[in-house]
Structures are given as C-alpha cells and as structure tokens.
Amino acid sequence: MGGAEGLESFWEEVETTGSSQPFRRPGSFKDRDYLETFEGLVFCVVGEVHPPNRAFAYLKYVLSEGGARRVLRFYSGPHVEETMQMLEARYPEYLYDDEFSGLRFPAVPASKVKAHYKPEEKVKQIVEAPGDPLEAKASRLVRLLSESSGVPQASFGITGSILLGVHHPAYSDIDLTVYGLRESLRVREALENLYRERGEVRRLEGERLRRWCEEKARLHPLTLGEAGEIYRRTWSRGLYEETFFSIHPVRADWEVGEAYGDRRLKAEGIVEAEATILDASQSIFLPALYKIGEVKVLKGPQAREILELVSFEGLYSGIFGEGERVRVRGLLERVEKADGSVYRRILVGSRMAKGSDYIKPYPSRV
C-alpha cells in the first residue's frame, strides 16, 4: 500500500495543512502508521524522526491464518518491554542499536515492510464505502469533526484496528489522526464545543469513566483521583454514538524541525522534580514536548539547564498549560546538539524508568 502513486491519486482535495506542501512526503513514515512485515509482524510507527531506511515502531499484532493476535496487551512502558523481549528472542533484526542515545529500540527495516498502512488512505476508503457499521460510524465522526472544525477530511486519518481491517464491528474503538498543528488545534476547539452540546459526542462519565480511571491507575503510578484529574484535562478521548474514540494529532512532515542524528543523548539517571511549563505548543503530539523552567530537582542527579520535558506516554500529551507547575519523575538526559550546544531534558516513557515515571499537576488538585 501507499508510495508516490498513492499520494498522487489521493483525493482531488489536496492533502495540505495550511500550506501548498503535502503533509506526507512520498516514502515517509509517520506517527500511527502501521507496518506489516513479511513474517506477519505488525508494528505501529512512533513519531516522525527515524534512522535511515528504518522506522521506530512498537510491535502490536502477529498475523497468522487464524487472524490477528494482539501481543501488546496495554499501552504502557512495561507492556512494550514485553514485546521487545519477544523480538529479542525470535526476531532480533527488528531491534536497533541507536548510536545517538546508546539505547536499543524496535525499528523496522524498510526492506522488511510488506505493507505500509497509511491512516489518510483508510479514511478516504471508509468515507466513500464503509464496510461495516463501525466503519460507517467512524466516517460519520470524521464528517462531523470536519464540518465542525473547517478542517478538510483529507487532513484526517484512521488508525488502530480499523486501519488494519482487524476490528470487531461491535466492540472496537475509533482511533483518528489529524495532520498538522493548526488543524489539530481547530479540531480540539470543535470537539470541546461538541462536548458542551452533549449530543452524540460526549465525554466519559459514570461507570465508563470509573473503569477508565481504574485502568490508568493500574498501568501507571497514579491514584484514582489523579487519573480522574488527567481525564478532566483530556480533550482527545470520548464517546461518539456510545463508541469510545480517540484523536491523535500528528505533525505534517514540513512541521518536523529535526532530523535523525541532530542530537546526541546520554542518560544520567532517574530524577524527581518540579517544573513550570513555559511553552506547551508542541505538547499535543507524540512525543509530547513541553518547554520548562524553574526546575527544582528533588531526587536524583542534580543538573542545570533542564529545558525540556518530553513524554512518549500519550496520557500526558496536551494536558498541561503555560505557567502551570508540574511534578515529574523521569529519565534525565544530557542533550548535545549538532552545533555543540548542550542542555538537559527529562524524558517520560523510557525503558530505564520501567513504568515508574509520570507527570502530575502540582500542587495536586485531588
């Protein structure tokens, strides 16, 4: 699937994000794409910055004659670690030793890709000809969000099980992507207005909210109250016609201001700290990027020039605002840029933290 031909034939409505440039360059790997290998492994791509001829991605499904078997049980660091152990034992060629961080990550070689599933192509397909009731519902949600926000349908995608065609029409969720910062902010505003109308688009509440909070508190170092506070701040997860949906903003390729190898990272240990959010404009993406200041390290290595808070845990994307004080536990990293400048950042979602990291509002409101 995909490639330059697919890009050229994609909708008459050009897939742009406030520019004449397409949001996807031919051949690029984007966050929430899926890659199927010749062995029947299915990976979900993470972010837009990748090594040459590879894509950073986590293993989610294994295909067989009996269908798709989900091997990533939950979205959390320890569960991703389980899939990495499986790759280590059976498919080590999918693990990549990253010279710029000194760490090992799953990264799919381009030569191993049998099929590249692109969310924007699946949206076009289901809007034109939905194959079952869930696809029809997803197409209605895309139309509603497009009409409410003024963002063209060509700037949306659908990911997850529907993208792969392995969904259950009665039980699966709807996972959408939106391409471009401006487009994502417009969809967020439209969605918040739809929540207030309390029509077919609603926030979780009651028993469904309780179950969501219990799951997050089980998977992350959060109390039930803290999980509830995180959901209160979350705009991108709700219900449409009683089906759970999520929205995942993705940078347009021309918005990605970094290339692989621009920075060299060195882990310096786990820290607990307090910090003030200075800039949250890039926090809605994955990884979420917050510029921070007034950092006070409470535990772990002491350091100056801690300028960024980065999260690969989507739970913390886009939920903290400028001027807000937060508590964080994560991996302190030394960052050396290509121009020789050095600063530090705190990373949430590292293997080293083993699921013990977090970002919480401070002082806690719960």
Q: Residue ranges of the domains in the chain?
A: 34-117, 119-253, 262-361
Distance CA 143, CA 121 (A): 15
Q: Has residue 11 got a pLDDT over 80?
A: no
What is the length of the chain?
366
CATH ID of 262-361, from 3.40.50, 2.40.50, 2.60.40, 2.30.29: 2.40.50
Please report the pLDDT score of residue 22 as a whole number.
77
The residue that leads in pLDDT, 320 or 351, is 320
Q: What is the mean pLDDT of residues 161-171?
A: 94
Least confident stretch, 64-68, 133-137, 290-294, 339-343 = 64-68
Q: What is the mean pLDDT of residues 234-252?
A: 97
* 213-251 burial code (b ≥16 CB/10 A, e <16): beebbebbebeeebbbbbbeebbbbbbbeebbbbbbbbb
Integer CA distances (angstroms), 62 to 31, 36, 84, 272, 290, in order: 20, 9, 13, 37, 35
Q: Has residue 310 got a pLDDT over 80?
A: yes
Greatest pairwise CA separation for the chain in angstroms: 57
Q: What percent of the chain has pLDDT over 90?
A: 84
Q: Has residue 282 got a pLDDT over 60?
A: yes
What's the pTM? Answer: 0.90
What tokens appear for 342 in the block? 């050095």
Binning pLDDT at 50, 70 and 90, where does residue 364 land? low
Q: What are the residues facing 257 on neighbouring strands?
A: none
Average pLDDT over the chain, rounded to an integer: 91
Q: Has residue 365 got a pLDDT over 50?
A: no
Q: What is the mean pLDDT of residues 70-99?
A: 89
Please report the pLDDT score of residue 148 as a whole number.
97
Q: What percent of the chain has pLDDT over 70?
A: 93
Q: Has residue 322 got a pLDDT over 80?
A: yes
Binning pLDDT at 50, 70 and 90, where does residue 21 land? low
pLDDT tens per residue, range 206-231: 999 999 999 999 999 999 999 999 99
Please report the pLDDT score of residue 275 as a whole number.
98
